[in-house]
Amino acid sequence: MSQARTTSLSGRGDHPPHRSYSLDGHLVVAASLSPGLHVVSTPIGNLGDITVRALATLAAADLIACEDTRVTRKLLDRYAIAVPLAPYHDHNAATARPKLLRRLAEGAAIALVSDAGTPLISDPGYKLVRAAQEAGHMVTVIPGASSALAALTVSGLPTDQFFFAGFLPPKQAARRARLAELARVPATLIFFEAGPRIAETLADLAAALGEREAAVCRELTKLHEEIRRGPLANLAREGGEQETRGEFVLVVAPPAAAPPLGEDDADALLRAALARTSLKDAVGEVAVATGLSRRTLYQRALALSEEKTREGA
C-alpha cells in the first residue's frame, strides 16, 4: 500500500488531484484503499470534527454514497476532496443498492456516509452493509462523531447502560404507546426528535415517564449549541419557549427503581421490536434493554411470531 504524501497548496487557484485532501493548507495524497464498503463517520455539525482517517478514506474512495449530495459536497469542498457522489437514502435505496453492489463486485472502494454523524443510525445504511456482507464484500468502519453519544456525554445522566430509541412516532397515540413500552427499560433513554414536535414530545415524555431528570440537546457542536437540563416536568412546561430550529437529541434518566420485568412486559417489548426488525435483531435489542436471557427471549419471540402467523391465517 502506498504511503501518503504531503505538499503545500499555493492558494493561487491550484486544483488538487484526485485521491487527495487539504489539511491546514497542505495537500495530502491519500494512500490507496482496499476494495469494499467503508462506513465513514462525518461531523455532526462542526466540520473540524472529522478524523484524518476519514478524510483519507473519502479522498481515496472510487465513489461516495451519501444521503444528500448537497450536504456531503460542502464537507468535501471544505477539504478539497474530488470524488464522485451517489445519492443513497430512504427514497431511492431499493434501486440504488443493487447499483452499489455491482460496483463492489467490480472491485470498487465505496465510502458510505450519512448527512451527519455515524451512518446506519436512523438511516437505510444497514441494509447496504448487510447486503454487502452477504455478497462476500469487505465491510469496514471508520468511526467518529455520533450525536447520540455526544448528547449522552454532556447530559450528566447515567452512562453505564443506555438504550437508543431513535425517532418516536409523530402521531400522539402511537408515540404514547411506544413510551409505555420504554417506561420500564432500566437504562438511560436517548431519542432523536424534530424541532416542531419538541414541545408535544416533552409533554408526552413527562406524562409517560414521570419525575425523571432529562436533557434537551440542540445543535450539538454548532455555533448555537444549547443544552437544557432538569426534571421532565420542568422541561415540558418550558417546551413552548424552546427554540425549534436545529437538530435535537433528548436524553432521559432511567427509572429510579425499576421492578423486575414480567412476561407480559417482555412480550410487549418483543412485539414492538419484531414490528421493526428481524427476529434475531429483536431478541438482541430486548436482551440489551432488559438484561433478560437471549435464549428465553428467543423462545418467546418464536412463540409470538407463530401466534401472529396463526392470527393472520
pLDDT in tens, 150-208: 999 999 999 999 999 999 999 999 999 999 999 989 999 999 999 999 999 999 999 99
The fold for domain 147-252 equals 3.30.950
Average confidence (pLDDT) over 64-68: 96
Write the CA distances from 285 to 35, 93, 149, 300, integer angstroms. Answer: 31, 24, 18, 14
Give pLDDT, residue 8.
39
Q: How many Cα atoms occupy the beta-carbon half-sphere of 115 within 13 Å?
A: 10
How confident is the prediction for the chain on average, in pLDDT? 89
E strand or H helix that includes residue 237: helix 232-237
Strand partners, 194: 247
pLDDT score of 288 = 79
Closest to 28 (Cα-Cα) out of 37, 40, 20:
20
CA angle 224, 202, 121 (to 5 degrees): 65
Percent of residues, the chain, with pLDDT higher than 70:
91
Q: How far is CA 69 from the centre of its chain?
A: 18
Indicate the pLDDT class of residue 7, thresholds 50, 70 and 90. Answer: very low
What was the pLDDT predicted at 183? Answer: 93
Residue 65: which pLDDT band, with cuts at 50, 70 and 90?
A: very high
DSSP 8-state assignment for residue 117:
B
pLDDT band at 310 (very low <50, low <70, confident <90, very high): confident
- 5-142 — its CATH code? 3.40.1010.10
Chain centre distance of CA 167: 10
| Residue 146 near residue 121, CB atoms below 8 Å | yes
d(CA 131, CA 142): 19
Q: Which residue, among 133, 138, 147, 121, has the nearest Cα to 67 in the 3D structure?
A: 121
Q: Is a pLDDT exceeding 80 seen at residue 123?
A: no
Q: What is the band of 257 on the pLDDT scale with cuts at 50, 70, 90? A: low
pLDDT above 60 for 5:
no
Q: Output the pLDDT for position 259.
A: 55
**Looking at residue 167, what is its pLDDT?**
94
pLDDT score, position 10: 36
Q: How confident is the model at residue 258 (pLDDT cuts 50, 70, 90)?
A: low
- Phi and psi (nearest 5°) for 76? -65, -40
Residue 266 pLDDT: 82
- State the Cα–Cα distance between residues 14 and 186, nearest whole angstrom: 56
Element containing residue 65 per DSSP (H, E):
strand 63-66
* 126, amino acid identity: Y
Predicted pLDDT at 277: 83
Look up the pTM and report it.
0.75
Indicate if the pLDDT at residue 50 is higher than 90: yes
Q: What is the pLDDT of residue 285?
A: 85
Give the pLDDT confidence score for residue 9 in this predicted structure: 42
